RNA sequence: GGCAGUGUAGCUCAGCUGGUUAGAGCGUGGCACUCAUAAUGCCAAGGUCGGUGGUUCGAGCCCACUCACUGCUACCA
């Protein structure tokens, strides 16, 4: 209690809302939410941010196609992303939209600071552009047809275009970035991404085009309103906008620098190269870590509209239950790696881990308490080595979780927790309290107390991952809401015999296929 | 093409600085039990660790070559 509360600022990437949220967005949000919850339960002062990135050509084009103005489209889809957060019970403290006035102010302010530092200059951006692909291509990627005409890999014709653009002197930051990666080995995670970024930067950096004159749906460049900022400055700046920038007296500025940016593996480079360089240029502190998670596939197939395997995360969370939905993705997929999901796999996890192992463990033990111990926490008599071992492994979960969290190994935390769940089922079966009831009631009480106490600790440490069920479990154990931090996962806070307990109830229903459920009502 | 990584039981993965019968979970088969959500526990089958050749008293863990797959190789959020 003598130490200052540590702050923890976690962000997701901001989503591009030219469509509705899909499972990938939900995955990133759920994982980030679990980390945020973990840190809060571990006593940190957490600021958890998510939001939408609403500018750019694609938004403008999509809006036009739908007969809307860009801001109308943005309003509509940002609402859908917010709704997803709500449906997933995300605990983000703020939801930033890049079309908000505060973000215009922040983006223009960081632009001016980079400019004042001599890192922004006006020049010409040129290259082979394919209108059909909406993209520039490197000379090496092109094929040459008759008459010297060039074509993109897609077969679309390309033309040489030159465009006036502001540039950021990214090349000047190569050495500083390499020094950053060297001095902070965990700056980029997982390690495979770090290696890629390092080798990318080692190959040399070019200056970066950071404005556009070809569209207007963006934040005006200060002092030259013919230009709007291109995605880099606009999008990345959201993280400091939400912290109050440029007002360094703002209440939330204390949270900057961010503890971690949780992002998809496709945008690691932007966060690990461009963003820190921008911040260096602006004289601002750098985020501590950047972590790129993997992509999800449906049975190994990429999700795509044409394959018809794009699933609605809100519908899925309702189908399986929010906790089960979260649990599956966080447990099944090593965080940072790609992962595949299927209905069968989700149901398997739900039934095996949640309903059978944990849910049934709570049910079988607490119903015995209810029937044989007057629905009170039973007395705890002398403990044997079996109890000591089991309890010790439970009390070790919080510390072990912290260790895994250092590398955002969410799956490993869950693995450890369920190891204890399994041990507890084995303990329960080996002790057979239903037999002890007749032969040695005191011993039965000790077994039931021990099981309940282990469940208390499991409930505490499982809260970030299955918040609803963990809360229910702690309710069943009559754990006061102000004793549910990780700091309480210790022997000193153990269940007090005699405490009145509510009637047991199921934590997780088994998932039964609707087809086989009955007469199809 | 260059750089990096992966390849271990049907499936998903662990395997520390090389050292007794290569592990876990799920799935499968059998048994037990009845406290419990047809739940749980126990036992078993099943891999010689992508392939070849080396180093070593000894290699899944080192080296070489080889096959397959994946990622990165900048203006795509």
Helix A360-372 and helix A467-476: axis angle, to 10°?
10
Does the C-beta of A170 come within 7 A of strand B?
Answer: yes
The spacing between the Cα labelled CA in A192 and the C1' in B6, in angstroms, equals 11
What are the CA-CA distances from residue A310 to residues A119, A165, A279, A292, A307 (Å)? 42, 38, 37, 22, 8
The spacing between the Cα labelled CA in A239 and the C1' in B66, in angstroms, equals 48
| Low-confidence winner among A305-319, A344-358, A377-391 (lowest mean pLDDT) | A305-319
What are A185-240's pLDDT values in tens digits?
889 988 889 989 998 999 999 999 999 998 999 999 999 999 999 999 999 999 99
What are A487-503's pLDDT values in tens digits?
999 999 999 999 999 99
Element at A212 (helix H, strand E): strand A211-212
Does the C-beta of A515 come within 7 A of strand B?
Answer: no
pLDDT score recorded for residue A517:
39
Does the C-beta of A57 come within 7 A of strand B?
Answer: yes
A257: preceding bond cis by omega (within 30 degrees)? yes
What are A88-146's pLDDT values in tens digits?
999 999 999 999 999 999 999 999 999 999 999 999 887 777 766 666 777 666 667 66
Does the C-beta of A508 come within 7 A of strand B?
Answer: yes
At residue A245, the 3 state secondary structure works out as coil
What are the CA-CA distances from residue A467 to residues A36, A204, A371, A418, A483 (Å)? 12, 46, 28, 16, 15
Residue A11's pLDDT band, with cuts at 50, 70 and 90, is very high
Does the C-beta of A422 come within 7 A of strand B?
Answer: yes
* Residue A128, beta-bridge partner list: A137, A160
- The A 326-385 residues near strand B by Cβ under 7 Å are 332, 334, 337, 339, 348, 351-352, 355-357, 359-360, 362-365, 367-368
* Strand B positions within 7 A of protein Cβ atoms: 3-5, 12-14, 25-27, 33-42, 71-77
As a whole number of angstroms, the distance between CA A226 and CA A486 comes to 54
The spacing between the Cα labelled CA in A423 and the C1' in B43, in angstroms, equals 18
Does the C-beta of A269 come within 7 A of strand B?
Answer: yes
With CA atoms as reference, report the closest residue to A245 among A289, A287, A284.
Answer: A284
- What is the ipTM metric for this complex? 0.91
Does the C-beta of A426 come within 7 A of strand B?
Answer: yes
The spacing between the Cα labelled CA in A426 and the C1' in B32, in angstroms, equals 14
pLDDT of A391 higher than 90 = yes
User: Nearest nucleotide, C1' to the C-alpha of A127?
Assistant: B75
What are A28-50's pLDDT values in tens digits?
999 999 999 999 999 999 999 99
Question: What one-character DSSP code corresponds to residue A39?
Answer: H
Does the C-beta of A201 come within 7 A of strand B?
Answer: no
pLDDT of A464 higher than 50 = yes
With CA atoms as reference, report the closest residue to A31 among A271, A380, A292.
Answer: A292
With CA atoms as reference, report the closest residue to A279 among A120, A113, A118.
Answer: A113
Does the C-beta of A266 come within 7 A of strand B?
Answer: yes
Answer yes or no: are the C-beta atoms of A20 and A13 closer than 8 Å.
Answer: no
């Amino acid at each position: 209690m003598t130490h200052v509360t540590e702050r923890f600022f976690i962000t997701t990437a901001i989503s591009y809302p030219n469509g509705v949220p899909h499972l990938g967005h939900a995955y990133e949000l759920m994982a980030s939410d679990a980390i945020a919850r973990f840190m809060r339960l571990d006593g940190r002062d957490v600021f958890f941010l998510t939001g939408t990135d609403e500018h750019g050509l694609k938004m403008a084009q999509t809006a036009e196609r739908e007969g809307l103005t860009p801001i109308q489209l943005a309003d509509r889809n940002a609402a859908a992303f917010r709704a997803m957060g709500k449906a997933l019970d995300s605990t983000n403290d703020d939801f930033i939209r890049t079309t908000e006035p505060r973000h215009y102010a922040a983006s223009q302010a960081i632009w001016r600071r980079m400019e004042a530092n001599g890192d922004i200059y006006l020049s010409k951006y040129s290259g082979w552009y394919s209108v059909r692909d909406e993209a520039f291509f490197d000379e090496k990627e092109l094929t040459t047809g008759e008459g010297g005409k060039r074509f993109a890999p897609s077969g679309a014709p390309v033309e040489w275009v030159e465009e006036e653009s502001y540039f950021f002197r990214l090349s000047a930051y190569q050495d500083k970035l390499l020094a950053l990666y060297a001095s902070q080995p965990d700056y980029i995670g997982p390690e495979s991404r770090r290696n890629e970024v390092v080798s990318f930067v080692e190959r040399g950096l070019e200056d970066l085009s950071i404005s556009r004159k070809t569209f207007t749906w963006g934040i005006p460049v200060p002092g030259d309103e013919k230009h709007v900022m291109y995605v880099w400055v606009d999008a990345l700046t959201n993280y400091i906008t939400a912290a109050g920038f440029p007002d360094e007296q703002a209440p939330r500025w204390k949270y900057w620098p961010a503890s971690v940016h949780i992002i998809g593996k496709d945008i690691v480079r932007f966060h690990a190269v461009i963003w820190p360089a921008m911040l260096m240029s602006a004289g601002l502190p750098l985020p501590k870590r950047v972590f790129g998670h993997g992509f999800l596939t449906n049975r190994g197939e990429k999700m795509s509209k044409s394959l018809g395997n794009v699933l609605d995360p809100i519908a899925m969370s309702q189908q399986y239950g929010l906790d089960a939905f979260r649990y599956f993705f966080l447990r099944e997929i090593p965080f940072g790696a790609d992962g595949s999901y299927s209905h069968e796999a989700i149901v398997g996890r739900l039934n095996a881990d949640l309903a059978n192992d944990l849910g049934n463990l709570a049910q079988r033990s607490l119903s015995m308490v209810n029937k044989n111990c007057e629905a009170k926490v039973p007395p705890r008599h002398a403990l044997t080595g079996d109890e000591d071992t089991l309890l010790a492994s439970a009390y070790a979960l919080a510390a072990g979780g912290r260790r895994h969290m250092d590398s955002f190994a969410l799956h490993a935390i869950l693995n450890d927790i369920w190891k204890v769940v399994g041990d507890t089922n084995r303990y329960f079966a080996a002790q057979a309290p239903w037999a002890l009831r007749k032969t040695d009631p005191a011993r039965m009480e000790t077994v039931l107390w021990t099981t309940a106490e282990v469940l208390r600790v499991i409930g505490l440490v499982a809260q970030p991952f299955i918040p609803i069920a963990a809360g229910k479990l702690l309710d069943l154990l009559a754990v006061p809401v102000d004793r549910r931090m990780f700091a309480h996962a210790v022997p000193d806070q153990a269940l007090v015999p005699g405490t009145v307990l509510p009637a047991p109830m199921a934590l997780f229903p088994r998932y039964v296929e609707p087809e086989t459920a009955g007469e199809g009502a």
